[in-house]
């Protein structure tokens, strides 16, 4: 399982998970979500947008369990 994690003001939150690594730069997610993601292995860093703020790009990290 792959997980997408954003970090803001020192707090990490998982905003998506998927069985396959589908995460690409520019994808959009609901950044308010706080899913349970046991991902430990860092894969890479990408830039996503939040559905609530489509103009702003933020860093996100892809992990897998």
**3 state DSSP class of 33:** coil
Chain contacts with another protein (rule: CB under 8 A): 7-11, 13, 31-36, 50, 52-53, 56, 58-59
Nearer to another protein (CB atom), residue 4 or residue 50: 50
Q: How far is the CB of 21 from another protein (least distance, A)?
A: 18
Nearer to another protein (CB atom), residue 21 or residue 52: 52
Mode of pairing for the β-strands spanning 53-64 and 2-8: antiparallel
Other CB atoms within 10 Å distance of the CB of residue 57: 14
Q: How far is the CB of 9 from another protein (least distance, A)?
A: 5
Are 11 and 32 in contact, with CB atoms under 8 Å apart? no
């Amino acid at each position: 399982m792959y997980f997408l994690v954003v970090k803001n003001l020192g707090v990490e939150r998982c905003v998506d998970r998927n069985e396959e690594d589908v995460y690409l730069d520019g994808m959009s997610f609901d950044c308010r979500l706080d899913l349970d993601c046991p991902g430990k292995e860092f894969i890479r860093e990408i830039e996503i947008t939040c559905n609530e703020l489509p103009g702003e790009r933020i860093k996100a990290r892809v992990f897998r369990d």
